Structure 1
């Protein structure tokens, strides 16, 4: 099928298209937003646990500067002290690391519905093509990413230099304070610097979030032809479905014709409708429709009935109701039991007449069909 590749994507995406994008790992996820959340959570975690971190850090420093002759003599003691030091550092920063791990994993899933995409792990020779790599390097998206990185670096360096220059006299004054006071004072200077850096990065993050939203919805947009192709893929090709229906009807028709010799009676209209009924009182709970047809099929059913000496009776209202409200291979509707019973009673009388002779049984007249199942009008052709 030839598609117009220049056709503009003006149609809103379907649910199927959105789910397909998510399966491929294409989402509106903003890495800059996640980076900002990591910095923000790290900053809040450090500020929240600052007293605990600083007090434990001072304890480590006091222990480290105390002289112990056994540590120098015994090599095992040196390794033990190093192990204790790293264990203490891990203990200090454990809440901080857990908070960072949480913010790295959870927000991307909640904010953009990221799913695991194993297709990207598949080996593909086209990825090894250097020309494709060069094309990606000089693409518009890479230029935008480079611009964002350069802008973030400029903001971080500018704010850091500005704040350190502003606090330079305060930093120099730390040497005149005692150890504990200078440690807490220096920590506050670092925290304040981090806070201003995070504030400076907010505009970059807002710009990236808006950009990712625009790119995501632009990729999701569909052409009219793509919507038609998706509908065809989802629902099936109409021509193929029509052909399948025709084949199924042909199969049902062949099976129906082969079952007509089993019928006990053919109810007609007298020409346009023909319904073949079968009833075995030992095996069936009610009469069953084994064939039905209108137009040419109705005439064919009647010819087969004559060929196999099957009784036929004209009952227009009953024939129309049976055709409309019953299915081949199914029992007749309950409200029609009484009307069909009159017909079957006549059929059994005919069978008895064929064996014993005598006067031919009179056909039932004025067969009453319930008003809710009455069908007005006649069809000229099969469905």
Structure 2
């Protein structure tokens, strides 16, 4: 039962797979807040430009009204073109800034992820049973609470704003129209920034919740981690068998080199090293085979079967085994010791008839 419970953090492979599917940590509230704040700032910076464009359009309309004679179709088309131009000049920069902010905030969270997996049709999306489960899930409850909290915060801020400026509305009757509109716009902008700041706090809380919920969804059970390890690294039993087979094959190839050796240096039972030295082709004695315990005994038996000289030298055998690699020359610090053995063998060979 413990293996079936998803109590472990997701592995890097699991995270990569989920990302390919389009299942990533993402907060819609964060995107909405960024778009809202950018829109407010752009509106504040371009307010004079927007007001000027609206003023020009209204002045154009008044000029049409004051003309003594006016052809309705022609003037109607001109009015529409002028209205369209005013809309493009006044609203399009604001809309473009909001769209750009949304795209940047989205790609910042997704790290430029573009996945078509989430666009593929799935039966679970139209299943009534799955729909009921989603309706009463923890995420649905949290989203409902977030919506109610946003409405409550918005109503509180608007109520505080109205109570603070209510007395000013009567004073606008005795104030210049442009000054009254400018003051009302400034107060409205402050209200907008208060709303944006409050929603930013809610968005930060939503980011934390979305991260927690995402980590909870992609948790893995111990059995899933074991299965993933088998898929990526291979079954340990199979890998062990492969390594054993490779080791046996390497030992077999090594044992085939023993008959070509000039001498096998051994200590009584633990180590054996087979060396070859041909002055015309070898810069120094070369290790053809080496082994310990049972493998050392096999090297010695093979050498004796093929009449290769076997010399017992305990410190030299240990030093050769520890400091040499197969098919490599011996280290320079062992030249003298090995040379003494080879000279001894050459002298012994000369005494043989």
Which category describes the TM-score, using the shorter chain as reference length?
0.7 to 0.9
Cα gap change, 1:271 to 1:249, in 2 (>3 Å): same
Number of residue pairs matched by the alignment: 351
Contact 2:20 2:117 in 1 (8 A): no
Aligned to 1:305: 303
Equivalent-residue separation in structure 1 for 2:76 and 2:283 (angstroms): 94
| Secondary structure of the corresponding residue to residue 277 of structure 1 | strand
Contact 1:269 1:316 in 2 (8 A): yes
Deviations 1:112-170 (A, max 9, x none): 75733343244545545443333323323123223333443455467557756876786
Matches within 5 A, 1:259-270: 259-270=257-268
| Secondary structure of the corresponding residue to residue 330 of structure 1 | coil
Cα gap change, 1:323 to 1:203, in 2 (>3 Å): closer
Q: CA RMSD for the aligned pairs?
A: 3.9
Cα gap change, 1:83 to 1:258, in 2 (>3 Å): farther
Contact 1:264 1:347 in 2 (8 A): no
Is residue 2:46 matched to residue 1:49?
A: yes
Aligned to 2:60: 63
Is residue 2:146 matched to residue 1:148?
A: yes
> Where does the alignment leave 5 or more consecutive residues of structure 1 unmatched?
354-358, 362-383
Cα gap change, 1:134 to 1:265, in 2 (>3 Å): same
Deviations 1:81-114 (A, max 9, x none): 6455434433334543343234213334445757
Deviation at 1:246, TM superposition (A): 0.9
Matches within 5 A, 1:267-278: 267-278=265-276
Contact 1:174 1:186 in 2 (8 A): no
Aligned to 2:102: 104
Equivalent-residue separation in structure 2 for 1:66 and 1:337 (angstroms): 110
Equivalent-residue separation in structure 1 for 2:92 and 2:302 (angstroms): 89
Aligned to 2:206: 208
Cα gap change, 1:289 to 1:316, in 2 (>3 Å): same
| Secondary structure of the corresponding residue to residue 66 of structure 1 | helix
Equivalent-residue separation in structure 2 for 1:219 and 1:317 (angstroms): 62
Aligned to 1:376: none
Contact 2:38 2:98 in 1 (8 A): yes
Equivalent-residue separation in structure 2 for 1:118 and 1:334 (angstroms): 63
Aligned to 1:4: 3
> Where does the alignment leave 5 or more consecutive residues of structure 2 unmatched?
none
Is residue 2:105 matched to residue 1:115?
A: no
Equivalent-residue separation in structure 2 for 1:149 and 1:92 (angstroms): 31
Matches within 5 A, 1:77-88: 82-83=80-81, 85-88=83-86
Contact 2:3 2:221 in 1 (8 A): no
Cα gap change, 1:299 to 1:213, in 2 (>3 Å): closer
Cα gap change, 1:73 to 1:285, in 2 (>3 Å): farther
Deviations 1:194-220 (A, max 9, x none): 345435545643542343243234345
Equivalent-residue separation in structure 1 for 2:120 and 2:283 (angstroms): 60
Deviation at 1:65, TM superposition (A): 3.2
Equivalent-residue separation in structure 2 for 1:218 and 1:126 (angstroms): 20
> Which of residues 191, 194, 198 in structure 1 aligns to 2:192?
194
Q: Structure with the greater relative contact order (CA < 8 A, sep ≥ 6): 1 or 2?
A: 2
Is residue 2:52 matched to residue 1:37?
A: no
Contact 2:6 2:219 in 1 (8 A): no
Equivalent-residue separation in structure 1 for 2:295 and 2:184 (angstroms): 98
